[in-house]
Every structure is written in structure tokens, then in C-alpha cells.
Amino acid sequence: MKDELIYCCKLRDESPTPEVTAELLTAMEYDFSTWQDRLETIAFHTLYFENQAEAEEAAEKIKSLLETWDSLEVKITAVENFTMKKEDWAEAWKKYFNVLHISERLIVKPSWLDYNAASRQTVVEIDPGMSFGTGQHATTAYCLKMIDKLSCITGTDSFLDAGCGSGILSIAAAKLGFKKIDAFDIDPEAVRIAAENLEKNSIAKEQVIPQVSDVAKFKPISGGYDLVAANILGHILCKNSEHIISFVKPGGKLILAGILSEDFEETATEFCEKGMRLQDSFTEKEWTSGLFEKA
């Protein structure tokens, strides 16, 4: 029996924010996955096709766009085509994902790995997909740590997941006791995957219903949320700062992530000048995230 093949086009991405490349590929409606080498600070985007002609056509199209992408600080240093057996791919990518200990009580794991949780531990099960958010990235991990920490504060009951990606933050919030949870993402595919992940984690549909929305058009609940996590690219945060602040109730908390370290001071100033107070920040390599409180 002839082996079934997957035809691939791989991009080596040395951009400061490989998420921008991922957004461009999503807009072009490619099926792809992204893997980041955190030691080398590079990313690889692999596009998948059913035949060789489509894969080669995609490679040529992307090469023709590289000069245009330069203005977005997208730096693709190599484009190559290759094939692999479907059964090989089904197992190959799993080696990059392990059980993550976010805190003493919050654990994130993929479905194919077993984990014997202690009685006080909460386990979030997430499989990687096209949407952003498996807990591997520094910005997602910071959001999870803050959700875990703030869930212990009496009266912190409502949560907004702005730019929900895989739904990992909403799942963690639900399992850690938040009662009212809303979630949105501009990408319909991300919203679909988030809904699937919520169901896999036995989160009731009536508790969290992720929706497709642009951050500028999202309508929050009356009075705002106790905690808002906005894991969105920095320039989008600044552009929509006033509207994002309106999501937070007075005295509530706002987690801002997805910000390049070189841009964090400017972003923090933008939000602080509009009534937020910076309470905590964390930097890992090129990324800085922060926790703010609304006056």
C-alpha cells in the first residue's frame, strides 16, 4: 500500500514577532503550524498541502511577498518545500510538548501525556492547533500565573479573555473558580478550536461561549470585569487602550501580554495615563507582560 504524503512548505522566521507572520498566513487561508525555538529566538511555520504543485505555488507566492512584508518587520530567511508521511507527522510534533507546571496547583498538559494530579492541583488539557496558546509561550504562561494568583482573592468572580486563541486562559479561569467568563478572538478558527478545548475540559457551554469579535467592537458586560487578560500584540493594545480599559471594573485588574520588551514602557505609559496603575511586570527574553489595576 502506497504511503500517504503531506506536501509542505516551511518558512524560517527570524522576525521579532513571528505572530505577525502567523496572522498573514491565516489571512491567506493556509493550513499551517508554528514552532518556536526559544533558545535560538527563531520560528518555523510549516504549511500543508494535498499535492506538490500547491506547495510549490505557495512557496513562490510567499517569496514574491517578502519585500512587502519587510515593512511589517517580517523577516523570512528561508523558504523550502519537502514531503513527509502522514503517519510520521502524526507523531513527530508531539515531542515538543510536555507537562507544564505553571504553579504549584495549575498544570497544563497535552492529551497524549498522563499526569497524576495531586488533590489540590488543577489540570488544563490543551492540544496544539493553529490557534495561539498552549502555555509554552512566555506571555501565555504569565497570564496563567496571574489568573491562578488572582483567583484566590475574594470577590474576583468575572473574567474576560480578550484574544482567546486556544481558550487556555478561559479554561484555567473556569477551573479555578471564576463564575462569569467571556472570551473573544478576531479569528473564527481560533474561536472554533477554543470551543472544542472548552468541551474537552468539561467546561459547560453556558459558562463560556467564545465569540468572534474585533477588540475595537467587543461589548463588555455592564460594569466591567474583575479581571481582564489581553494577550494581544502591543500595537493593537495601544491603538485600543481606552476601549480595553473600559472592559475593567473600578478596582479590577488587567493583564497585558504579547508586548515586545522594547515597547513595554511605551505601552505601560499609554495605559497608566488613562487611569491604570502598573502593579507587576515580568520579562522573558524579548517579551514583557504586566499586571495593572484600574483606579
Best CA proximity match to 242, nearest among 260, 266, 216: 216
Residue 174 contacts residue 137 (beta carbons within 8 Å): no
Residue count of the chain: 295
Q: Domain spans of the chain?
A: 5-93, 137-294
Query: Using CA atoms, how far apart are residues 141 and 93, in angstroms rounded to an integer?
Result: 20
pLDDT of residue 220: 95
Amino acid (1-letter code) at residue 207? Q
Query: Using CA atoms, how far apart are residues 49 and 242, in angstroms rounded to an integer?
Result: 42
Best CA proximity match to 268, nearest among 73, 195, 260: 260
pLDDT of residue 92: 65
Tell me: the pLDDT tens digits for 218-277? 999 999 999 999 988 888 999 999 999 999 999 999 999 988 888 999 999 999 999 999
Amino acid (1-letter code) at residue 35? W
pLDDT of residue 3: 62
211 DSSP 8-state letter: E
Best CA proximity match to 226, nearest among 253, 255, 257, 256: 253
Tell me: the pLDDT tens digits for 15-36? 988 888 988 998 888 888 888 7
pLDDT of residue 258: 80
Best CA proximity match to 82, nearest among 13, 8, 3: 8
Strands 42-49 and 32-37: antiparallel
Query: Using CA atoms, how far apart are residues 236 and 259, in angstroms rounded to an integer?
Result: 10
Query: Using CA atoms, how far apart are residues 285 and 217, in angstroms rounded to an integer?
Result: 32
Report which secondary-structure segment, H or E, holds 90: helix 86-92
Q: How many CB atoms lie within 10 A of CB 41?
A: 13
Query: Using CA atoms, how far apart are residues 225 and 223, in angstroms rounded to an integer?
Result: 7
Class of domain 137-294: alpha beta
Q: Which residues contact 194 (CB under 8 A, 6 or more apart)?
A: 131, 164, 165, 166, 167, 170, 183, 185, 210
Report which secondary-structure segment, H or E, holds 77: strand 76-85
Task: Specify the fold of 5-93.
Answer: Alpha-Beta Plaits (3.30.70)
Q: What is the pLDDT along the chain (295 residues), one digit of tens a residue?
A: 456 788 999 999 999 888 889 889 988 888 888 887 766 678 999 998 989 999 999 999 999 999 999 999 999 999 999 998 876 765 666 766 789 999 999 999 988 889 999 999 999 998 755 445 666 677 889 999 999 999 999 889 999 999 998 899 999 999 999 999 999 998 888 899 899 999 999 999 889 999 999 999 999 999 999 999 998 888 899 999 999 999 999 999 999 998 888 899 999 999 999 999 999 999 987 789 999 999 8
